[in-house]
């Protein structure tokens, strides 16, 4: 059975997740999933007033999508 979650080989408190991420242009949301989990699927928005709003995470995910060469929202460059 394929697992999207594994404990770090070094032990400690770290787990590694095989996360699928994509941008939905119509909703403006970035989706995150663990493809083989059957239970993990969530979204994040740029709007901090939204229940799913997290501007910092949204920007980092948008940057990662852009770097991967897949559709991504336009965001201002940040550090």
Residue pLDDT, tens place only, 3-35: 999 999 998 999 999 999 999 999 999 999 999
Instruction: Evaluate whether residue 46 is within a structural domain.
Output: yes
Instruction: Evaluate whether residue 24 is within a structural domain.
Output: yes
For residue 57, the Cα-to-chain-centroid distance in whole angstroms is 8
Long-range contacts of 57-63 (CB under 8 A, 24+ apart): 58/30, 61/21, 61/30, 61/32, 62/23, 62/30
Q: pTM (2 decimals)?
A: 0.87
Q: Which domain holds residue 57?
A: 16-68
Q: Are 16 and 8 in contact (CB under 8 A)?
A: yes
Residue pLDDT, tens place only, 48-73: 999 999 999 999 999 999 999 999 99
Domain count, the chain: 1
* Rounded Cα–Cα distance for residues 58 and 45 (Å): 6
């Amino acid at each position: 059975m394929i697992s999207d979650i594994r404990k770090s080989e070094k032990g400690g408190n770290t787990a590694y997740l095989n996360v699928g991420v994509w941008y939905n242009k119509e909703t403006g949301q970035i989706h995150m999933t663990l493809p083989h989990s059957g239970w993990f699927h969530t979204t994040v928005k740029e709007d901090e007033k939204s229940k799913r709003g997290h501007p910092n995470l949204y920007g980092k995910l948008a940057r990662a999508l852009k770097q991967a060469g897949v559709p991504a929202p336009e965001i201002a460059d940040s550090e």
